Structure 1
Amino acid sequence: MFQGVGKRKVMINPEAFAPLWQDYQMPWTIHKDHWTEDNPNAYFPRIYQYKGNDFNFKTADRWVQNGAYFRLKNLTLGYTVPVSKKYIDRLRVYVTGEDIWEHTNMLSVFDPEIDNDTKRSIYPFFRTWTVGLNVSF
């Protein structure tokens, strides 16, 4: 099944980007692309080491993300093996994928289905695969 949204703007609460405030925030993402003299066009502002200096992470249009996306939500492929044994009535092999593929322009640490102003408990897009074997006797 495919799923998507053609046009959507998502306001990410800037506290989600504030590095090192809480364990659930994204320090690795920020450290990979924060402002330095060598990286003046970085996505994130300069990192400060103390909590009281949060002025770079106030609400601003900088944190508005393009929430449009197109996603392959789930797919199952299976094959029923012809059996001629008298002890097996049916044998089926299958693989199922959830959240298999996605195209979006949002930062990869966000799922484009999140609510506006999201700042806590943010998980990225996860893929899951299930491989199975059904045997009927």
Structure 2
Amino acid sequence: MTTLTPVDARLLVAVADTIHRCGHAIYADDDPQMIEPTTTYTVGFHVKECSGGRELALTGMPPRTAARVLNDVTDRLRSVPGAWLQPDMILVDVQGYTAKLRPVDDPSFLVLAHALYEGTVTALQVLIADPNGRFPDDPAYANGINAQRLL
């Protein structure tokens, strides 16, 4: 069970407005002390048919780059009739990266989605391959331990 975290009402209104205008919003949960890599995630995407009922999340990238990657994935899914997110799906040339989707173990970081939709929301994490084509869930992954923290 996910515990709902209080969220500023003005932020919720702004996010709801973005979802209304754009179909979903992107939020970056930046750690000002740089202890944890930035987590960037969609809000409102899980209600789209192509989402499989899940939001998307990405760690370890600057928020603007992560937003471009997440928007690329959502645009691809919306442009293919009947396509929808699935764990272990591989996506090629996502803003120049190869990406893989994996289920998120603990969706508690989706604070805005939980607050806006008043309940538990699940997600898939977008993993980015290293130059050798390995993903962060592979022990041979070559981009450092915390570059893409598994959620």
Q: TM-score, normalised by structure 1?
A: 0.22
Between structures 1 and 2, the one with greater helix share: 2
Between structures 1 and 2, the one with greater strand share: 1
Structure number with higher relative contact order (C-alpha < 8 Å, ≥ 6 residues apart): 1
Larger radius of gyration: 1
Q: TM-score, normalised by structure 2?
A: 0.20
